Amino acid sequence: MKKLLTMALALVLVLSCVTVFASCTGGNGDEKGTTADTNAATDTTQDTDAPAEKKVLKMATNAYFKPYEYYEGEKIIGIDAEIAQAIADKLGMTLEIVDMEFDTIITAVNAGSVDFGMAGMTVTEDRLKEVDFTVSYAKGVQAIIVKEDSPITSDSDLFAEGATWKAGVQQGTTGDTYASDDLGEDRVTRYNNGNNAVLALLGGSVDCVIIDNEPAKALVAANEGLKILETPYADEDYAICVKKGNTELLEQINNAIVELIGDGTIDSIIAKYIK
């Protein structure tokens, strides 16, 4: 009992000292306290005014489609990459490019793992059933690559009665769709990218490659003994795909594209890669 009384007494003394100390510092210390409070308020204001982190805008592409998207070291560059960056800048967002197989882009867009797809993608009726497309930002041409000594001299040779020529295509592209529809599945071989299709042509596995004209130029320049036929296979419009029903993003990107076309930015980007 005596021990408890002693402890209680000690506690009272401690509390008294704290109270006295607070009273003793209350005079001049009031100004210091006010200054500290003001500083705290200023810090809070600075945090509030600090720029918010930009929202990330994710783009799906297939980076083996020069000059629209391709690797320079570990960085993806090209027409689509630069236009996408200009769009992100217009929207005040940070661009992130995700490389994947071409035929998985629409799936990724619909799954929401990316915000939009941009890979020299042509607007087709079948694709419009799955995704929404922006206004067109560029035009494309499907070309035919053959060996320099090939008996195939125009697209009409592929469609001639009794023709058995085989075509190599990049899987999931419009070249794949057109060739499969025109020539039949048994005359079309699909590859993961245009380079592999060209290697198959050089090796004799296929007789021609059907692919977009600009990538075709790059592939022919990089591989001796090949040429592009003068007759184009098809004309196309390139656009950006977004998840069906995502009207807000679609409108934002459309507005950005229209502005970038209007001020000449897109033309200058394309001219940088296509002379």
In-domain check, residue 180: yes
Alpha helix segments (H runs only) across the chain: 2-24, 26-49, 79-91, 105-111, 125-128, 155-159, 174-183, 194-202, 213-222, 247-262, 265-273
Residues 210 and 247 in one domain: no
Residue 261 to residue 264: CA distance in whole angstroms: 5
Residues 194 and 253 in one domain: no
Residue 32 has pLDDT above 70, yes or no: no
Over the stretch 228-257, which tens digit does the pLDDT of each residue have?
999 888 888 999 999 999 999 999 999 999
Three-class secondary structure of residue 205 per DSSP: coil
- Contact between 227 and 152 (Cβ < 8 Å): no
In-domain check, residue 165: yes
102 or 53: which carries more pLDDT confidence? 102
Residue 34 has pLDDT above 80, yes or no: no
Residue 58 to residue 112: CA distance in whole angstroms: 10
Over the stretch 46-83, which tens digit does the pLDDT of each residue have?
444 545 677 999 999 999 999 999 999 999 999 999 99
Residues 148 and 131 in one domain: no
Q: Based on the structure, what is the number of domains in the chain?
A: 2
Q: What integer is the mean pLDDT of 261-268?
A: 97
In-domain check, residue 19: no
Residue 71 to residue 21: CA distance in whole angstroms: 69
In-domain check, residue 38: no
Residues 146 and 231 in one domain: yes
Residue 1 has pLDDT above 50, yes or no: no
Residues 170 and 213 in one domain: yes
Residues 105 and 228 in one domain: no
What tokens appear for 72 in the block?
């320079």
Residues 224 and 268 in one domain: no
The most confident of 14-18, 24-28, 210-214, by mean pLDDT = 210-214
The predicted pLDDT at position 53 comes to 74
Range of the domain at 269: 56-137+239-273
Residue 53 to residue 94: CA distance in whole angstroms: 9
Beta-sheet pairing, 241-243 with 131-133: antiparallel
Residue 16 has pLDDT above 90, yes or no: no
Place of tokens 């945090």: 47
- Contact between 89 and 55 (Cβ < 8 Å): no
Over the stretch 212-236, which tens digit does the pLDDT of each residue have?
999 999 999 999 999 999 988 888 8
Residues 228 and 189 in one domain: yes
In-domain check, residue 36: no
Residues 199 and 247 in one domain: no
Residue 142 has pLDDT above 60, yes or no: yes
In-domain check, residue 66: yes
Residues 225 and 248 in one domain: no
The predicted pLDDT at position 49 comes to 54
In-domain check, residue 170: yes
CATH number for position 180: 3.40.190.10
Over the stretch 202-212, which tens digit does the pLDDT of each residue have?
999 999 999 99
Over the stretch 157-203, which tens digit does the pLDDT of each residue have?
998 999 999 999 999 998 999 999 999 999 999 999 999 999 999 99
In-domain check, residue 76: yes
Residues 66 and 80 in one domain: yes
Residues 71 and 200 in one domain: no
